[in-house]
Structure 1
Amino acid sequence: MTDVSGVQGVPTWFGPEQSRLFGVLHVPEGGVARAGVVICPPLGRQYQDSYRGLKLLAQELCAKGFAVLRFDYRGTGDSTGNQCGDGAVDGYVESIGTAVSYIRAAGVESVCLVGLGVGALLAATAVEGTAGLVLWDPVTNGRRYVREQQALYRMTVAAGESEDLPPETGAVPLVGITLSAAGAKALGALKIPASVGSIPVLVLPRPERADDRQLADLVAAGNCTVQVVSGQPEFVEPPGIVVKIPLDTLAVIASWLDANLPTETVVLQPVFASDAEVGELPDGRKVVESITALGPNRLFAIRSAIAGAPDDGPTVLLHTTASDHRVGTGRLWSETSRELAALGVRVFRYDRRGVGDTGIATDEYAWITSADAQADVMDAVDALAVAPDRVFLTGICSGAWNSALAGLRHGARSLVLVNLPIYSWRRIDGVNERLWGVADFAAGDSEQPSEQPPALARAKQWVKNWLPYRGWLILGRLGYTQVPEVLFKSLGSRGLSTELVMSPLDYGWFSDHQGPIGFKRLARHGLAPRLTVAPGGDHAVLHRGLQNFIREHLVNAVRKEFADDL
């Protein structure tokens, strides 16, 4: 953590010891900066989708001489705090102030805020005392935002919701984040102020929101530049797993900051912290998270463990989904890591190359099951440096397949594979992208869309309906179809204790691909995994009740597997 130069950024914990925030500080070459920029991210699913784009923006600004801080609000991402706490929104606003104070303490006095989506609303609320403000695709009315996100959640994620899988009592689930009723009310009370004083302001609305009345009032107050930008839906509301970063908008922001912030440089002296206390047990022991790197490509990772836990003890490795970074959908992996660590196991969550905080961000899509991605999986599990019988692997969707790959090649005590849609070992490169219908279906569409010609779709359906199972199995072994028996026979033959956990939607996919037949055949040889179908939920695990179900299920599974060690 001693090299503070370069655009990649240095991860750190900062803020009060009792409520540490996670951030990444990008320090210009030579350790000098002309001004500071604090990037205020959106919330929920938009936070995950925009993560790489905001990192790319930070890199561009750093190259222009700005010290840039990306960070997670209290109760979100890797920062400490409860996302469902009644004071969550106050915590967001206070976190911005803490971020500004941190970057100022490093040596820069002039600090500008850049807020995206609802992050722009939060930045405008916390803007006092800063040198400038960029409102990128801004949410101007918190009440409207909460209503829209609730409606989207109900229509997609919670469609057909089961009474057996409710969220917490009094919780208000949005898409990718869950607030308490008080938190939702507090967020709903926020509005973009009509004036932010004398500081320069850049407003970047999407075309359909350019005539927003509250933005008009802000512009009328003066010292405000407005430029309509395109490409926002593909960036923060992508229809599938591929996020397109609006490079032109990044250039506009960089150019505006270059013209409106000081040019005189100062020497930076930032303070970096690689460890943070994130919890305390009843007996006074501390749960500590440590920033670390795994393998030869230095995959960014966070280790959660009780202070002083042995390095050769029971270890859990969490694999990410699609292009999400280590936090997980709905913050599932951050919260699960801390709960599992309190049991006495070590837990690692990490970013593969091209994702999150591993390496330099680019606008290139990081293919999910590429050769590089598979290499990263093996590097991560090898870097744990513990015996296979001390390793517990889990992940969702492509993360589940990565867990299976690591278990097959490295060995493991146990695997819990959640919403696994891929059952092949061959022809795997790009298979997630080819199974585009699964990705779109995960977003909540009532029917799986298909890009296939009707004749080909009918032919495939005929094969499913009429081809004998042995013929179907041969196609699966060749990698032309997804046949559950292929993957699970390999795992069973390896002697791995495996469980498949699925939402009802994923069980439908599993059944459509002859999963029940394959599992009956495996059971005759003692190779069938355990099978658990959740009462409800969605493929992408945006459903809050399913998040809680999976977290509890994993905690119980780890407690059972390592009962003699905990």
Structure 2
Amino acid sequence: MTENGSVSVRSGDVVETATWFGPEDRPLFGWLTAPSSNLVRGAVVLCQPLAEEGNMAYRTMRTLSQELARVGLLALRFDYDGTGDSAGEFNDPGRRDAWIGSVREAVEYTRSICAGRVTLVGMRLGANIAFHATEDVEVDELLLWDPCESGNSFLRELRLVHSPWLEGRERSPEGWIETPSYAFSPESAEAVRDLGLHDAGQSRAPLAVTWLARSDRPIPNKVRAALGGKAPVLIDGQAGLLNVPTLSAAVPSASVSWIVRHLEDSRGGEGLVEVVPRVTAAASWLNWSGARFGTQASPPTRVLESARVFDTGADVFGIVSESAAAPDGAPWVVFPNVAKERHLGEGRQWVTLARALAAHGFRCLRFDHSGVGDSGAHPGQDEEATYSLYWLDDLDRIVTLIRSGGARRVVGIGLCSSGSAVLEAALKGKLTEAITINTFLLLEPGSEPGPPSQWRSFRRMPRPLRRLARRHRRTARSLYKALGTICPPVSPLWVPRQIVRRSHCDLTLMVGADDSAQLDVGRPLDVMVRRPLERTGHFEIVALANADHSLRVTSGQDEVSRHVLERLLRATT
């Protein structure tokens, strides 16, 4: 690892600092959250849920860490090995030991910078991982937040939620378990099954354990038995966090407040200790991310990742992936975060692509727009709101900074809302190439109020047609298609035309079956607009066979990644 200056995001009197820690060859990524005074009454290590539940709970864990810092506690939230921004792949061998080992490294790192007591807090499968880690990890208290009754129950619930997405799409190989955004290999699924809660007995006997259970479900007897008959504290809000679509997940404020009060009260009589800063803002390791798609560099190169904060009026956080051999003028690829999710992409797709491309000489940035993920917010900005007006400036300013460093080729890649941000930058002439996946060019009736009118990459039906579409959608679409023939600028294809013709930007639209209807503009516009664009060699529409709109299905993620890698690597040869 390389010791660099710290990279921090500030929120009032709370400072969040990015860091890598743990093994040199497989570093872990995390965030230290502390009061600006750096004086605390102890520390809390947060073990987040796994897979898609981790995405849903990410804002909750960040909120909890900030609230803990406000009452004088240091908090470390981190990504397990093979997840998030940490090194490794999701289905690498030895997952159970790697996940538990990640908790061990997190506790040891926390103790190395803070002399106070350490509490381990885990949610869902993160609680199970924390529980098993305490067999050989010394902490002062363990708080289990809605732990999974068993590893099987965790997989079963996620598989049930995911099954409708698989209709008509290619599935993972036999024995794999498909869940939203993540597929578990047989070995990884077995690792999850081995994380059921067992008898506390022996090694955990002196440990103070607090158990939070959902008030809207029966108390799980297996958990009660594993904790020696201990009664839980009943909490509300988990349904609004985990039993909703990912983008609707809401922070369970009452549960967060209870945990903060509980930990504050338990440290009330303790004196203040100073956090000894020891952060690592960059790390490197041997990169294998291209193996999954047949694009592995030979021999494997070391990927260098560095945390960055860009000043766009807010602290916008991102991570740059590159190889040590990348030249000064290396092409850049920029991945904005998707909607309210952080900068990983679905199923960690942005991470995998960035590291695979870094091995071939690209510099890649994955970042969070202001107000979401790990970024700060502008004064008065509505956090967690998608299509914010502030987002229009975020990518512009970042690309301007990149170009000021001598980069001549800058590629933007985005899915859905992040694709819209890429198109906006392309319209302004900021990008050399834009690749979008399932990105709306036409706002369908029912999506009102939709993004503000300052977002120019959308076409909107005229108001009379929107009213008609409420009862007669097919008729309204036919009339809109006819209107586009008479007046092409109202057509969704006019946006690609402006990008290619005026902004001189290469454009690839990747579209799954769920999103293809918006490009059905009729034969006249195909002849007048689409085909001439395709003949320029700077415009392409790629039909995706397995991609659902949000890329929750693994085969769709892989299909998109192969197309992206093939296109970008072909352009460099």
Q: TM-score, normalised by structure 2?
A: 0.85
* 1:190 and 2:195 matched: yes
Question: What is the aligned counterpart of 1:334 among 348, 351, 357?
Answer: 351
Question: What is the aligned counterpart of 2:156 among 147, 150, 159?
Answer: 147
Partner of 2:457: none
Partner of 2:172: 167
Instruction: Provide the C-alpha distance between the structure 1 equivalents of 2:151 and 2:409, rounded to a whole number of angstroms.
Output: 47
Instruction: Provide the C-alpha distance between the structure 2 equivalents of 1:76 and 1:3, rounded to a whole number of angstroms.
Output: 21
Q: What secondary structure, in the 3-state scheme, does the structure 1 residue paired with 2:37 have?
A: helix
Q: What secondary structure, in the 3-state scheme, does the structure 2 residue paired with 1:53 have?
A: helix
CA contact (8 A) 2:493 2:519 kept: no
Distance change in 2, residues 1:384/1:237 (3 Å): farther
Distance change in 2, residues 1:112/1:358 (3 Å): same
Instruction: Provide the C-alpha distance between the structure 2 equivalents of 1:475 and 1:132, rounded to a whole number of angstroms.
Output: 65
Instruction: Provide the C-alpha distance between the structure 2 equivalents of 1:412 and 1:453, rounded to a whole number of angstroms.
Output: 33
Superposed CA offset, 1:347-401 (max 9, x none)? 0000111111112699954222221111112122222125675111111001111
Query: What is the 5 A alignment of 1:48-87?
Result: 48-87=55-94
Question: What is the aligned counterpart of 2:482 among 442, 462, 469?
Answer: 469
Superposed CA offset, 1:110-146 (max 9, x none)? 2111111211111111124211122222212111211
Instruction: Provide the C-alpha distance between the structure 2 equivalents of 1:422 and 1:322, rounded to a whole number of angstroms.
Output: 16
Distance change in 2, residues 1:134/1:44 (3 Å): same
CA contact (8 A) 1:537 1:546 kept: yes
Distance change in 2, residues 1:540/1:492 (3 Å): same
CA contact (8 A) 1:143 1:190 kept: no
Instruction: Provide the C-alpha distance between the structure 1 equivalents of 2:452 and 2:473, rounded to a whole number of angstroms.
Output: 18
Q: What secondary structure, in the 3-state scheme, does the structure 2 residue paired with 1:324 have?
A: coil
Partner of 2:335: 318
Query: What is the 5 A alignment of 1:205-220?
Result: 205-218=213-226, 220=228
With 395-404 and 284-293 compared, the bigger mean Cα shift is at 284-293
With 384-393 and 331-340 compared, the bigger mean Cα shift is at 384-393
Distance change in 2, residues 1:516/1:59 (3 Å): farther
Q: What secondary structure, in the 3-state scheme, does the structure 1 residue paired with 2:15 have?
A: coil
Partner of 1:179: 184
Q: TM-score, normalised by structure 1?
A: 0.86
Distance change in 2, residues 1:476/1:135 (3 Å): farther
CA contact (8 A) 1:381 1:410 kept: no
Distance change in 2, residues 1:310/1:531 (3 Å): same
Question: What is the aligned counterpart of 2:493 among 485, 490, 495?
Answer: 485
Residue 193 of structure 1 deviates from its aligned partner by: 3.0
Partner of 2:426: 407
Distance change in 2, residues 1:404/1:526 (3 Å): same
Give the residue type in structure 2 aligned to 1:41.
Q
Partner of 2:262: 256
Instruction: Provide the C-alpha distance between the structure 2 equivalents of 1:255 and 1:411, rounded to a whole number of angstroms.
Output: 48
Partner of 1:118: 125
Partner of 1:352: 369
Instruction: Provide the C-alpha distance between the structure 2 equivalents of 1:7 and 1:502, rounded to a whole number of angstroms.
Output: 42
Partner of 1:457: 470
Partner of 2:23: 16
Partner of 2:507: 498
Instruction: Provide the C-alpha distance between the structure 2 equivalents of 1:7 and 1:377, rounded to a whole number of angstroms.
Output: 26
Distance change in 2, residues 1:340/1:254 (3 Å): same
Instruction: Provide the C-alpha distance between the structure 1 equivalents of 2:565 and 2:166, rounded to a whole number of angstroms.
Output: 24
Q: What secondary structure, in the 3-state scheme, does the structure 2 residue paired with 1:138 have?
A: coil
Instruction: Provide the C-alpha distance between the structure 1 equivalents of 2:566 and 2:439, rounded to a whole number of angstroms.
Output: 20
Give the residue type in structure 1 aligned to 2:474.
Q
Instruction: Provide the C-alpha distance between the structure 2 equivalents of 1:122 and 1:533, rounded to a whole number of angstroms.
Output: 41
Instruction: Provide the C-alpha distance between the structure 1 equivalents of 2:400 and 2:390, rounded to a whole number of angstroms.
Output: 15
Instruction: Provide the C-alpha distance between the structure 2 equivalents of 1:408 and 1:468, rounded to a whole number of angstroms.
Output: 23
CA contact (8 A) 2:172 2:555 kept: yes
Structure 2 gap segments, 5+ residues each: 288-296, 454-464
Pairwise CA RMSD of aligned residues?
A: 3.0
Partner of 2:293: none
CA contact (8 A) 2:7 2:309 kept: no
Distance change in 2, residues 1:158/1:303 (3 Å): same
CA contact (8 A) 1:275 1:291 kept: yes
Residue 21 of structure 1 deviates from its aligned partner by: 0.2
Partner of 2:208: 200
CA contact (8 A) 2:96 2:194 kept: no
CA contact (8 A) 1:400 1:416 kept: yes
* 1:232 and 2:238 matched: yes
Instruction: Provide the C-alpha distance between the structure 2 equivalents of 1:394 and 1:468, rounded to a whole number of angstroms.
Output: 28
Residue 99 of structure 1 deviates from its aligned partner by: 0.3
Instruction: Provide the C-alpha distance between the structure 2 equivalents of 1:251 and 1:299, rounded to a whole number of angstroms.
Output: 27
Give the residue type in structure 2 aligned to 1:458.
R
Structure 1 gap segments, 5+ residues each: 435-451, 478-482
Instruction: Provide the C-alpha distance between the structure 2 equivalents of 1:530 and 1:3, rounded to a whole number of angstroms.
Output: 39
CA contact (8 A) 2:331 2:407 kept: no
Percent of matched pairs sharing the same residue: 25
Give the residue type in structure 1 aligned to 2:414.
G
Instruction: Provide the C-alpha distance between the structure 1 equivalents of 2:525 and 2:134, rounded to a whole number of angstroms.
Output: 59
With 4-13 and 500-509 compared, the bigger mean Cα shift is at 4-13
Q: What secondary structure, in the 3-state scheme, does the structure 1 residue paired with 2:235 have?
A: coil
Residue 538 of structure 1 deviates from its aligned partner by: 1.1
* 1:294 and 2:310 matched: yes
CA contact (8 A) 2:321 2:358 kept: yes
Instruction: Provide the C-alpha distance between the structure 2 equivalents of 1:221 and 1:358, rounded to a whole number of angstroms.
Output: 42
* 1:532 and 2:538 matched: no
CA contact (8 A) 2:26 2:81 kept: yes
CA contact (8 A) 2:343 2:368 kept: yes
CA contact (8 A) 1:369 1:429 kept: no
CA contact (8 A) 2:68 2:260 kept: yes
Distance change in 2, residues 1:471/1:413 (3 Å): closer
Q: What secondary structure, in the 3-state scheme, does the structure 1 residue paired with 2:470 have?
A: helix
Instruction: Provide the C-alpha distance between the structure 2 equivalents of 1:292 and 1:73, rounded to a whole number of angstroms.
Output: 21
Partner of 1:440: none
With 353-362 and 65-74 compared, the bigger mean Cα shift is at 353-362
Partner of 1:442: none
